[in-house]
Amino acid sequence: MNRKTRNKSLIYLPLLVAIVILLTVAGKKSSSEVIRISGDSNLFGIAFGLSLFNDVIATSEDRSKEEFCKDVNDKFLKFRWHNVICKPDRWKVFSYSSRGNPLFYQEFGFDDPDNKGPVNLLLCGVHGDEPPAVYLCFRMVRDILFDSPETLKNFKVIIAPIVNPDGFFANTRHNANGVDPNRNLPTKDWEDSARKVWANYNNDPRKFPGETSGSEEESKFQTYLINKYKPDKIISVHAPLGFLDFDGPGDQKYYDLVRVEHRAKYLGLNIEANSKRLLKLTDFRFFPGSLGNYAGNERKIPTYTAELPNSDASKAYYFWDSLRFAFIKALNFEIYDEREKHPLHNAQAVSERVKDKGLELAFYFRNSLEKVKMETAKADAGPDITRN
């Protein structure tokens, strides 16, 4: 696999240990050494700070955002996508792929205090050989920043436009390590089933789940965004199956739905209805290591996988024109109502129903406990909603 180790904090560990030993030894020397010790202490502080914050440090093999965007824009030109652009300063880097390409993303709508809308995560280019998906993400950025910025008043969105850049440049589904980033997420069934399920698909090298779960940077990137932002919903754009798959509250369940299950499913129908017949809502299964499993099944985050009808880059404009309305509407859509937003309201009643069905309560509320504490003055003294 020949992967680079990417946990930056580990780099500082030996340095930290060395400094601690140095300080201890120095401390046992005479008091005339005190000045030097305080000098070392600053160094200690710097090293400790760096190790704590786990900053992204580019190695010499990693490429700058500028270099990266230049290649992305060259590729856009080859596809004749003249109305989208990769602008380096628009993106934050999470880390780097094994080929040194930045894995980047950005928050949109978060700096407007009046924007109380739902938090969305939009992922594109998880598979590198599905270029129209990448176009849709960049076109969405253009739309909300320039073409119709008023739409961004009612929702927030985190966009990761090229989750698998190595695959994008090589035109492969998998990443440069030969691992499918939509089969490698650390789901609970991964150890037991990932290889077996892969074997059922004739060990298709395009869908190799990896040696261990969550091993790939592209996987860590996705789980980071999910766990950091705890989005109200996720839309991941793929091709070429031409359907919309829903995973999350109420999936595979057809009666006795609680409200959020109704709403989450309703949004699926709504996207289908507005998709100009491009996306037919289906009950496609999820896989060990897939996003639908990790986010939708395990964390009960409504997750919509939009499979464009084909991977033809020349169809990208058409897909955008057909799906823009459906997507903007979906980003605006509130799955959770005002009462559910308030975690102390009716939590008991909902939790009873949820517990019966073996689901986790926490993700039924759009607010994480952390957010709750900020928004509700009494939250600290109130009941712990995760235990109700």
Structure tokens at 28: 């046992």
Scanning 43-51, 56-64, 234-242, 319-327 for contacts with Zn ion by CB under 5 A, the matching segment is 234-242
Q: How far is the CB of 347 from Zn ion (least distance, A)?
A: 37
Strand pairing of 233-238 and 303-307? parallel
Q: How far is the CB of 189 from Zn ion (least distance, A)?
A: 20
Residue burial 95-122, b: 16+ Cβ < 10 Å; e: rest: bbbbbbbbbbbeebbeeeeeeebbbbbb
Interface of this chain with Zn ion, residues 319 to 348, rule: CB under 5 A: none
H or E element, residue 235: strand 233-238
Q: What is the DSSP string of 257-289?
A: --HHHHHHHHHHHHHHHTTTTS-EEE-----TT
Residue 29 C-alpha from the chain's centroid: 51
Residues 6+ apart with CB under 8 A from 168: 72, 75, 125, 128, 131, 134, 162
- By the rule CB under 5 A, 183 interacts with Zn ion: no
Scanning 4-12, 40-48, 197-205, 230-238 for contacts with Zn ion by CB under 5 A, the matching segment is 230-238
Neighbours of 316 (CB within 10 A): 25
- Residue 44 or 246: which CB sits closer to Zn ion? 246
Looking at the chain, list the stretches that DSSP marks H as alpha helix, in order from N- to C-terminal side: 8-27, 34-53, 65-78, 131-142, 165-170, 190-200, 217-229, 259-273, 291, 316-332, 338-341, 347-356, 369-375
- Residue 238 or 300: which CB sits closer to Zn ion? 238
- Residue 127 or 300: which CB sits closer to Zn ion? 127
Q: How far is the CB of 183 from Zn ion (least distance, A)?
A: 11
**71: region left, alpha or beta (phi > 0 left; psi from -120 to 50 alpha):** alpha
Q: How far is the CB of 185 from Zn ion (least distance, A)?
A: 14
Count of positions on this chain that bind Zn ion (CB under 5 A)? 2
- Residue 261 or 307: which CB sits closer to Zn ion? 307
- Residue 266 or 284: which CB sits closer to Zn ion? 284
Scanning 190-198, 232-240, 263-271, 351-359 for contacts with Zn ion by CB under 5 A, the matching segment is 232-240
Structure tokens at 384: 């712990």
- Residue 188 or 206: which CB sits closer to Zn ion? 206
- Residue 136 or 347: which CB sits closer to Zn ion? 136
Q: How far is the CB of 127 from Zn ion (least distance, A)?
A: 3
User: What is the side-by-side strand order in the sheet with 92-96?
Assistant: 92-96, 102-108, 156-160, 119-124, 233-238, 303-307, 243-247, 280-282
Interface of this chain with Zn ion, residues 119 to 138, rule: CB under 5 A: 127
Q: How far is the CB of 368 from Zn ion (least distance, A)?
A: 29
- Residue 58 or 241: which CB sits closer to Zn ion? 241
Nearest to 278 by CA among 248, 251, 313, 318: 318
- Residue 319 or 363: which CB sits closer to Zn ion? 319
* Interatomic CA distance for residues 105 and 94, integer angstroms: 7
Q: How far is the CB of 65 from Zn ion (least distance, A)?
A: 25
Q: How far is the CB of 207 from Zn ion (least distance, A)?
A: 10
Interface of this chain with Zn ion, residues 237 to 296, rule: CB under 5 A: 238
Scanning 2-10, 163-171, 231-239, 368-376 for contacts with Zn ion by CB under 5 A, the matching segment is 231-239
| Residues in touch with Zn ion (CB under 5 A) | 127, 238
